[in-house]
Chain A
Amino acid sequence: MAASLAAQKGAETVAVSMTVNGKPVSGEIDPRTLLVQFLREHLRLTGTHVGCDTSQCGACVVHVNGMAIKSCTALALSLEGADVLTIEGLAAPDGPLHPMQEAFRENHGLQCGFCTPGMIMTAVDIVRRKGNELDDRTIREELEGNICRCTGYHNIVKAIAAGARAMKSGGATSQAAE
């Protein structure tokens, strides 16, 4: 689709470049292209998901310049030169998992897996903002922008608390490029 989006007769395209998961990337895109479309369709980084069209569900959360954003709500064009981190960049492909990923696995914080990348990216951002000791209420309030239909949140909350602590002791926060 990368080619088809860009190369339509008469369709206006513009150049955009940014850093994604530590690598410089660029593309010729329809100016309407959202960041999530750029990631999924141009770069084929399909770990970032689209679960709604009103910026409510959080399945598309990625980090831009170190902060969590909903990638369905930003035009790719507006992020020229930005540093973007997606779920695929959170840990090296064949290396150890990021502590937050590991915590989700260990605590069964996922079922169908569709909201999971957004949940994990949000969780890492919660730790950045709120620290490594997170109580139940804080985590639940901070998850206001992420919807999960499978887990009832119980195990997600447990996973985030455990992941937050592990990020401190494991020193793995640096992997999150923050």
Chain B
Amino acid sequence: MSATGIGVAVRRKEDRRFITGKGHYTDDINRPGQAFAYFLRSPHAHATIKSIDAKAASAMPGVLAVLTGAELATDKIGNLICGWMIHSKDGSPMKMAAHPALASGKACHVGDAIAVIVAETLAQARDAAEKIKVDYAVLPAIADPAAAQKPGAPKIHDVAPNNTIYQWSLGDAKAADAAFKSAKHVTKLDIVNNRLVPNAIEPRAAIGEYDSGTGTFTLWNTTQNPHVARLVIAAFVGMAPEHKLRVIAPDVGGGFGSKIFIYPEEVVALWASKRVGRPVKWVADRSEAFLADAHGRDHVTHAEMAFDGDGKILGLRAKTVANLGAYMSTFSSSVPTYLYATLLSGQYEIPHIYCEVDAVYTNTVPVDAYRGAGRPEATFVVERLVEVGARELGQDPADLRRKNFVNKFPHQTPVIMMYDAGDYNASLKKAMELADYKGFAKRKRESARHGKLRGIGLSTYIEACGIAPSQAVGSLGAGVGLWESAEVRVNPTGSVEILTGSHAHGQGHETTFAQVVSERLGIPIDDISVVHGDTDKVQFGMGTYGSRSGAVGMSALVKALDKVEAKAKKVAAYMLEAAEGDIEFKDGKFSVAGTDKTAAWGDVTLNAYIAHKFSGQELEPGLKEGAFYDPTNFTFPAGCHICEVEVDTETGTTEIVAWTAVDDFGIVINPMIVEGQVHGGIAQGVGQALCEGAVYDKEAQLVTGSFMDYCMPRADNLPVLKVGTTVTKCPSNPLGIKGCGEAGAIAAPAAVINAITDAIGTEQLAMPATPQAVWAALQKSNKLPHAA
């Protein structure tokens, strides 16, 4: 194994620039002659725009342009799109309403962009925005997804009667119903999966620049997938042909899904730059981000699980209403369907599953993928049902899980997925040992002596990652293929540049991708650089989301390395005057089998470029290879998280006193980075469970619109995290990787709520389990000391 190869906790190559303040995020970039954009946003959740008077604003100092939906239409700038077609049960296509980058005739949520002001300075643009007179006719609005389809609810888009985007289903309803009829016990739950605001700490930003000399646009953008952004902005928005648009994603400060999507602001920055003939920069304020970044989750679900007399699961039924907000964001339609219902089998053999999902419009910020995307919602449904079912049946929740685990692979679930490998008993067993599950009763008594209620909760989750086989997702409605690309450029001196279509925004690809190369070529990672995030450098790529960079991006890299090695062997054969088939390559050295003739990596790479040894032969000079890798299956990371809490009965405050996570991510490239991903995911899941929640009032005003009102998890909300792994190799890709980016966020909410409900003795507890919510639930429980 190379000292900087696979499996080593190598310290990150990218860190030096970040810890010394030398990172280059979008807002750190200023272009010569740059002007600034400020968006005037709707203060109303639902309103007809009768007129916009921009005269006074246009005359303000420094103002270069005030642009609205009218100018957007004049310039024929196309609408934003949702790229995943979902068909309803009746076969009708989803009802996608027009989503112009600036509102056209109507504002559909608070924060909907009405106009953009471009000025010499940001302060001048803001000042001018105050002078724009918009005559609104306010309409009734709705934020609650559960009420959006009811008769009399305000109608948001003409194309969508009853605000219904689609009514979709998966599974066999009749078979599921029959399973429920034969059940000895049925556990039923009503679940609200709370709406979250992703809140990457770097706010979104965009700089658009038009070069009239060449007719090309450049966009610097906080995006997780620059090529997808270019494709959509070229092919659908119609800003410029693809070859005349360059998208650069420099250092990006966290994404968690929210920077996948193609948003109005980057479209407007590009368009405005052509309009005013100057580069145009926009950077979101945090409060603006709350109103303009896609939110996550927001499901209302009724779910049921059928058991036989022994605790074996017979079936699962779920009916979900998913709030997609005011417009359909880029991948919004796929989240509550193929990323959700396909995971409702969890780690269990469930013979029959049926799920119905209605997606609805409301007058709220669009909802799309947020870390986990559908899978946290599915896990919460399954893991709450299993836990509550065990309690109702009087069984230990761990035992009931074990009884129902899938043990044979491959395993075909009733909801599309074919699990390829796993060992759910192993992760459960290891987690229970690390958490000292057996010692819980003693710890509970100890807590009771201090007047605290102690609870323990499990979450044995599964996720589908490594998104995804192109043919499979294509057949399910995806407008794109979900392969990945890589290119390996070997320099004459032997150093290596790898170009990847994956994009890092915290994941450490500059280190981990280099580790894969180091392992393969036997050169240190300091001799390897990773290039990503620029459509002029990397030819094409699908970007980073769905825990796909390792399983898909690195697989493409392995394919490219295969080709590099094959060609380098040909060069070495000429150098060593041996048959190509006799050349062996190991630890950075080429040798002729059965002889002591060798050539070092650097000698071969130099010879590849000077070409003296094979000039005029069939072999081409140079050493550069590329590959595209299309996965053969999803990957299925799985594991067990155990949360232990203490609840203060007087204040309702929950303290997480212990957390154990044992995850099976397949082969791990860098354990330090993987643990970091798990930590971060858990924090976001704990945030969802304990404190985060986007709250809309009756007028569909966002009440939690800043860090003052929206409770982000802080250091003192989280415990020391005990993290371990088990390994079953993923058979579906060359490195055996499953992916680790979303696991924590997927597993955590159910573990927390299972722990708190165990402590307080009632299942009637919604997320976020704030002290107020827990206290209120406790008043109805029999666990209060006075009631005991």
Contact = CB atoms under 8 A, between A and B. Distances in A.
Is this pair of chains taken from one and the same complex? yes
Interface of A: 1, 4-5, 8-11, 30, 32, 40-41, 44-54, 56-57, 59, 86-88, 90-91, 93, 97, 101, 104-106, 108, 110-117, 120, 136-137, 139-141, 143-144, 146-157
B253 A113 contact: yes
A114 B253 contact: yes
Interface of B: 11-12, 14-25, 27-28, 30, 34, 61-62, 120-121, 123-124, 199-203, 251-254, 256, 283, 285-287, 505-508, 672-673, 675-676, 679-684, 706-708, 712, 714-716, 718, 720-721, 744
B61 A11 contact: yes
A154 B201 contact: no
Contact of B708 (A56, A140, A150, A154): A56
Contacts of B61: 8-11
Contacts of B683: 149, 151-153
Given A48-B21, A88-B20, A147-B707, A57 B201 contact: yes
Given A54-B286, A151-B676, 5 more contacts: A49-B202, A146-B714, A147-B707, A152-B684, A154-B720
A51 B11 contact: no
B229 to A, nearest CB: 18
A53 B286 contact: yes
Contacts of B708: 54, 56
Contacts of A48: 21
Contact of A110 (B15, B121, B283): B15
23 contacts: A1-B34, A1-B121, A11-B121, A41-B30, A46-B24, A47-B22, A49-B25, A49-B202, A88-B20, A91-B20, A106-B11, A108-B676, A110-B18, A112-B254, A113-B18, A114-B25, A144-B714, A144-B715, A149-B254, A149-B680, A150-B506, A152-B681, A154-B721
A8 B121 contact: yes
A134 B23 CA distance: 29
A57 B286 contact: yes
A113 B680 contact: no
Contacts of B256: 149
Contacts of B681: 152
A159 to B, nearest CB: 10
Contact of B716 (A110, A117, A141): A141
A108 B673 contact: yes
Contacts of B27: 40, 46, 49-50
A57 B287 CA distance: 12
Closest 6 CB pairs of A and B: A47-B21, A113-B18, A114-B253, A112-B506, A152-B683, A152-B679
A149 to B, nearest CB: 5
A113 B23 contact: yes
Contacts of B19: 87, 97, 101, 104-105, 110, 113, 116-117, 120
A108 to B, nearest CB: 5
A105 B24 CA distance: 18
- Most chain B CB within a 10 A radius of its CB, from A143, A148, A150, A152: A152
Given A147-B201, A149-B254, A47 B23 contact: yes
A47 B17 CA distance: 9
A108 B674 CA distance: 11
- Most chain B CB within a 10 A radius of its CB, from A45, A51, A146, A157: A51
Given A47-B21, A149-B200, A4 B707 contact: no
B514 to A, nearest CB: 16
Contacts of B283: 50
Nearest to A113: B18
A88 B21 contact: yes
Contacts of A91: 20
Interface of B is mostly: loop
Contact of B201 (A10, A120, A148): A148
A73 B285 CA distance: 14
Contacts of A104: 15, 19
Contacts of A116: 18-19
Given A1-B30, A140-B716, A101 B20 contact: yes
- Most chain B CB within a 10 A radius of its CB, from A8, A59, A112, A116: A112
A59 B706 contact: no
Given A48-B21, A114-B254, A53 B706 contact: yes
Nearest to B202: A114
Nearest to A137: B716
Contact of B707 (A46, A57, A88, A143): A57
B709 to A, nearest CB: 9
A149 B30 contact: no
A114 B715 CA distance: 16
Given A91-B20, A112-B252, A113-B23, A51 B679 contact: no
Given A53-B286, A56-B708, A114-B253, A153 B201 contact: no
A158 B235 CA distance: 47
A51 B712 CA distance: 13
Contacts of B684: 149, 152
B20 A87 contact: yes
B506 A105 contact: no
- Most chain A CB within a 10 A radius of its CB, from B17, B20, B683: B20
A139 B714 CA distance: 11
A149 B199 contact: yes
- Most chain B CB within a 10 A radius of its CB, from A1, A40, A111, A136: A111
Contacts of B744: 152
Contact of A8 (B15, B25, B124, B201): B124
Nearest to A48: B21
Nearest to B682: A152
Contact of B286 (A52, A106, A115, A136): A52
Given A86-B21, A120-B19, A108 B680 contact: no
Given A51-B201, A152-B679, A56 B16 contact: no
Contacts of A86: 21
Contacts of A137: 716
A152 B681 CA distance: 7
Contacts of A44: 30
B120 A8 contact: yes
Contacts of B28: 40, 46
B672 to A, nearest CB: 5
A51 B202 CA distance: 6
Contact of A112 (B253, B682, B716): B253
B254 A153 contact: no
Contact of A111 (B121, B199, B285, B680): B680
B203 A51 contact: yes
B126 to A, nearest CB: 10
Contact of B506 (A50, A93, A111, A117): A111
Contacts of A41: 30
A51 B287 CA distance: 10
B33 to A, nearest CB: 9
Nearest to A158: B720
Contacts of A47: 20-23
B680 A156 contact: no
B706 A52 contact: yes
A157 B20 CA distance: 19
